[in-house]
Amino acid sequence: MAPVPTDRDLRLDLFRGLALWLIFLDHIPSNLVSWVTIRNYGFSDATEIFVFISGYTAAFVYGRAMAANGFIIAAARVLKRAWQIYVAHVFLFAIYLAEISYVSHSFDNPLYSEEMGVLNFLNNPDVTIIQALLLKFKPVNMDVLPLYIVLLLWFAPILWLLLRSPTLALLVSAAIYTVSWMFEWNLPAYPSGDWAFNPLAWQLLFVFGAWCALGGAARLARWTKSRVVVALAFCYLAFAFAIAMTWYFPALGAYVPKFVGEAIYPIDKTNLDVLRILHFLSLAVITVWLVPPDWPALKSPACWPAIVCGRHSLEIFCLGVFLSFAGHFVFTEVSNRVFMHVIVSVSGIAIMVGAGALISWYRRIERQGSGPRPPATKPGYAGSEA
């Protein structure tokens, strides 16, 4: 059985916190501040970081539970987590319904009679609400939590396999990815089409994160620290950056040879394009190279706001989705000027940090209230979520 590490890597919380901020900024439509986010400079975006780190921490938390208490107890805990995320998703859907209902009553313009049709689902809630509860009807920007739920539902067996034969588990995951590409498998959505994040494809990154947590990262260290790999990662990021620039300056598109364009487009987010995986891996290699686990700044006040958000990722993710609805609402109802974009973005992140600090504080007083904890668990990570 593979050894399960015992120290939580602060880098995970830091980068997951940063990813949550970027997801929030990207989710506000037309947000000018979102030009700082990584999706504008390459192929992958914050979703990859979030899914990878979530896989890593899930293996970290439930791997220890499975090693200590066995399959049944660990699986039960994983399923409990999936249920919590489901409840969070339904809660967000309720907020979305409130927003949509408000817009449908307050907005009318003959120019947009077609676009207003998107509100028509309010006319038959009997169907759409049930489809939403079945995770088939997913409003815009509410795709990540259903993906997370499905990934956790089958995580217990893959974790069992990861603990026994990590390589085989990774091969199984890669095989599912390949087969879903070959046969175009995906889960059905309502009213038509498929899931915007195909779980059969995105599971690869989640399982890869889990594999890294269970000793894979240590085995890869020889490669990720090699100068050649770091240089290749830099080259790939530079290539992706150059391509991304042609999205904003179409004149530059003339310098992209036709065969390159035909080879790379369209870059498929739904099915987690290989170009996106490579871009994420390049970012990861360079991050690991720049930021060692014992980097002193990780304990500095400068990193604390992101770490405190990353540590409570489910709550902060949900809050971020809510805040992006609210931010768009402010743009349409109050002002759409540049300074308002900055205010909404900055105060949104400040609210996320405040909420993260509040949740940490609650955890602390609840722990104190329930008396001394068993010595086997250490504060800070043992009670953390995946």
Partner 1 sequence: MKGRLIFLLALPVVAGFGQIIPGPVWPAWAQPLTECDVPNRQNEIDFPLPRVNRAIAAKHLNVLVLGAGSSQLPGPSGAKNAYPARLQQALAAKLPGVEVRVATDVKPTRTAVEMVKTLKPSLADAKPALMIWQTATVDAMQAVDPDQFSQALEKGIKIARSAGADVIFINPQYSPRTESMIALATYVENLRWVALQHEVPLFDRFNLMKAWADLGTFDLYSATKKLDMAERVHGCLGGLLADLVLEASKASVPNTESGREPGK
Tell me: does residue 95 bind partner 1 (CB under 8 A).
no
x/- binding map, residues 228-247, to partner 1, per CB under 8 A? Answer: -------------x---x--
x/- binding map, residues 23-62, to partner 1, per CB under 8 A? Answer: -----xxx-x--xx-x-xx---------------------
In this structure, are residues 81 and 237 in contact, taking their beta carbons and an 8 Å threshold? no
Return the closest-CA partner of residue 148 out of 275, 326, 318.
318
Return the closest-CA partner of residue 310 out of 1, 16, 8.
16
In the complex, minimum distance from the CB of residue 204 to partner 1, in angstroms, rounded to a whole number: 20
Q: Could you tell me which stretch among 45-53, 73-81, 115-123, 170-178 binds partner 1 (CB under 8 A)?
A: 115-123
Q: Could you tell me which stretch among 50-58, 73-81, 153-161, 327-335 binds partner 1 (CB under 8 A)?
A: 327-335
Burial bucket for residue 30 (CB in 10 Å: 0-12, 13-18, 19+): exposed
Q: What does the angle CA 245 – CA 251 – CA 255 come to, to the nearest 5 degrees? A: 75
x/- binding map, residues 277-306, to partner 1, per CB under 8 A? Answer: ---------x---xxx--x-x---------
In the complex, minimum distance from the CB of residue 126 to partner 1, in angstroms, rounded to a whole number: 19
Size of site (CB under 8 A) for partner 1: 61
CB atoms within 10 A of CB 233: 22
Over the Cα atoms of the chain, what is R_g?
A: 22
Question: What token pair was written down for 113?
Answer: 């009679």
Tell me: does residue 342 bind partner 1 (CB under 8 A).
no
Helix segments in 190-296, DSSP class H = 199-211, 217-224, 227-248, 258-264, 274-290
Q: How far is CA 177 from the centre of its chain?
A: 18
Would you tell me which residues interact with partner 1 (CB under 8 A)?
28-30, 32, 35-36, 38, 40-41, 99-100, 103, 106-119, 139-141, 184, 189, 191-194, 196, 241, 245, 248-251, 261-262, 265-266, 269-270, 286, 290-292, 295, 297, 324-325, 328, 331-332, 336, 338
